[in-house]
């Protein structure tokens, strides 16, 4: 079985001595993937280092904050911040200027 608090997954027996594993991570971050056969024996080179990056920008999960959203003064800079998030609430760190 695929065990994780950061997503879900499935294993399919191909009946050829191989197994197809698929998973859908929902929490970005660094993980250690420990692959075992029969729940006991680790496969060669296990555990594996996995980096899960945030998904595409989701505007309904993103938040804008700051006084510059509601009040400004002529001749002075107004300011606010935007927390860009993906569909699972992970911070989206790489955006180009045209996205904002």
Mean pLDDT by 10 residues, the chain (100 residues): 69 93 92 85 89 95 97 97 96 76
pLDDT at 99: 64
pLDDT at 28: 95
- Give Cβ neighbours of residue 89 (< 8 Å, ≥ 6 apart): 61
- Give Cβ neighbours of residue 38 (< 8 Å, ≥ 6 apart): none
The count of other CB atoms within 10 Å of the CB of residue 19 is 12
Contact between 28 and 91 (Cβ < 8 Å): yes
pLDDT at 100: 62
pLDDT at 80: 96
Domain definitions of the chain by residue range: 7-52, 55-94
State pTM to two decimals: 0.75
């Amino acid at each position: 079985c695929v065990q994780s608090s950061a997503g879900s997954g499935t294993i399919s027996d191909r009946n050829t001595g191989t197994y197809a594993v698929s998973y859908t991570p929902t929490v970005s971050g660094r993980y250690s993937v420990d692959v075992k056969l029969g729940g006991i024996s680790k496969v060669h080179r296990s555990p594996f280092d996995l980096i899960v990056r945030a998904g595409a920008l989701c505007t309904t999960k993103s938040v804008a904050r700051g006084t510059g959203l509601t009040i400004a003064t002529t001749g002075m800079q107004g300011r606010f911040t935007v927390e860009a998030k993906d569909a699972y609430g992970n911070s989206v760190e790489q955006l180009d200027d045209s996205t904002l």
